[in-house]
Amino acid sequence: MARNRLFRSVQEKSWSRREEWGPLSEHLRPDITSSVDALLLESSIPKDIISKVAPQVSWDIMLICFENEYADLVQPFFYIPLLEPWYASGHFPCGWQGNEFPDRWDGTIGAGKLIVF
């Protein structure tokens, strides 16, 4: 839901900047994927779990980059303030305990907490 909200917000504020989303993703994806794969392979995470974790970690890192790229349009509201500090300290956010975020989530964080490994 956070990714969708960020995309919608960018689109509402600047269609031309929204058009940069796909090319930016294509540019970042190879570096993010190889970095995440290398990092996870060096970790103590079992290899069978890595294949399940790697795509989510890659998306989180990608969206940290996107929140940074579009911060002039949309104040970072999820990936930078909530997830980036955990990744920077060597932990993995791995879920949310509480109510699911609704479709067309408005960015308001209600009752609940991030689950971190």
| CA–CA distance, 40 with 64 (Å, rounded to integer) | 18
pLDDT at position 6? 95
pLDDT, tens digit (0-9, with 9 covering 90-100), for 91-110: 889 888 888 877 787 777 77
| First-residue to last-residue Cα distance in the chain | 21
pLDDT, tens digit (0-9, with 9 covering 90-100), for 74-87: 999 999 999 999 99
For 93, the enclosing helix (H) or strand (E) is strand 93-98
- The CB density around residue 98, as the number of other CB atoms within 10 Å, is 13
